[in-house]
Amino acid sequence: MSEPDDVSSPYSMKSFRISIPRGLVAQYPLEERDQSRLLVFDIARNLLLDGLFTNALDYLSDRDCLVYNDARVINARVFGKKAEGGAELELLLTRRLGLLEWKALIRPARRVKPGTRIIIPGGPGVEVIENLEEGMFRVRTEEPVGYERLKVLGEIPLPKYIRRKPLEAIDAVRYQTVFSRKDGAVASPTAGLHFSERLLERIRDKGVAMFPVTLYVDWGTFKPVKAQDYRQHRIHKEMYEITEESAAGINRCIEEGRRILCVGTTSVRTLETAFMNARIGAGSGETGLYIHPGYEFKVVDGMFTNFHMPDSTLILLVAAFGGKEGIEAAYRHAVERKYRFFSYGDAMFMFNK
């Protein structure tokens, strides 16, 4: 029998004193992207300032470099039935493994095993090939199912804490960032949701250098941390790409001593993964970088980020950057002032330089 979590342990998720009232979990995006609220956390001065995202430009200068994630969310959630018995199933296609194969999270997992056949209305038959782990399977389709086909067969996989059903037309637009270019993510890099085209134009006009990277956000980013010692949690690997142009531009900014600011935790993980020998390396690969308190950041000086689930690896990442006590104070401040939380919620800008 496992021992209960020790709240007094500094490595227990229960040691984080963060509680989010259900009524503050945003169910819809605001009418305008850049009208969300912005909590500014000046780490060096331990200062919290309330504002609006449209005024984020006030905290940027022509000595800054802003790195964003240009991944685009695919219609990864597909519904089907078991060929034998007709039990309803939900598939989240998380990564394409080949022409006919996908890695898929299937719920309820207890209803499937290797050899199970699944019928997708209007789509090809699906066979479960291999049980991987924790509800994740390798599946094979009778004919190719690419991103374009998923636009017909599937739907945008909004997080479960957005409780309204069914999805609405607004989600197909507003769960994508204005940066989104490269299909393959199964969740939005949500810090980017606050940027509008008009705000980007003002940022460019101010002389801020901007460069894209790509991290194809996978479901594992949002998997709850259940280990009694969060250091023992195993984070799932995600695919990333950095072009030669972006790497050269970011490296030039590093050499010039500019602040390196990231839009979202996904951009943070991408840069921290690719930073070796004092430079950002171009190319593609997998990152399993797990950032939690005690991690020493090598390149990132600040980040725009959403408010995250209290049991997530994302809370651990921002706590590694802003300090556990600092993040707890920031979240208490946000709750007291009724900020909106999670994917469609408000934002925070944290910086230490």
Whether residue 195 sits in one domain with residue 56: yes
The predicted-structure confidence for 83-107, as pLDDT tens digits, reads as follows 999 999 999 999 999 999 999 999 9
Instruction: Answer for the pair 90, 79: CB distance below 8 angstroms, yes or no.
Output: yes
Say yes or no: 102 and 149 in one domain.
yes
Burial, 278: exposed, middle or buried (Cβ in 10 Å; 0-12, 13-18, 19+)? exposed
Instruction: Check whether residue 69 and residue 81 sit in a common domain.
Output: no
The candidate with the shortest Cα–Cα distance to 186, out of 224, 230, 223, 234, is 223
% of residues, the chain, pLDDT over 70: 98
The per-residue pLDDT for range 215-249, each reduced to its tens digit, is: 999 987 778 999 999 999 999 899 999 999 999 99
The span from the CA of 162 to the CA of 190, in Å, is 14
Q: What is the CATH number of the domain that holds 87?
A: 2.40.10.240
In the structure, what pLDDT confidence band is assigned to residue 4 with cuts at 50, 70 and 90?
very low
- Of 82, 134, 137, 91, residue with least CA distance to 111: 82
Q: Where are the alpha helices (DSSP H) in the chain?
A: 147-153, 169-174, 197-205, 244-255, 265-274, 313-322, 324-336
Contact (CB, 8 A) for 75 and 120: no
Span 116-135, pLDDT tens digits: 999 999 999 999 999 998 88
The domain tally of the chain equals 2
- Residues 338, 216 share a domain: yes
Give tens-digit pLDDT for 124-174.
999 999 999 888 999 999 999 999 999 999 999 999 999 998 899 999 999
Residue 183 lies in a domain: yes
CATH number for the domain harbouring residue 210: 3.40.1780.10
Distance CA(276)–CA(293), nearest Å, equals: 21
93 domain-assigned: yes
* Phi and psi torsions of 205, nearest 5°: -65, -25
Is 4 domain-assigned?
no
Range of the domain at 119: 77-153
Give this prediction's pTM: 0.95
The tokens describing 325, both together, are 């006590």
In this structure, are 267 and 142 located in the same domain?
no
Average pLDDT, the chain: 95
- 101 and 195 together in one domain: no
Q: For residue 273, how many C-alpha atoms fall within 13 Å in the half-sphere facing its CB?
A: 25
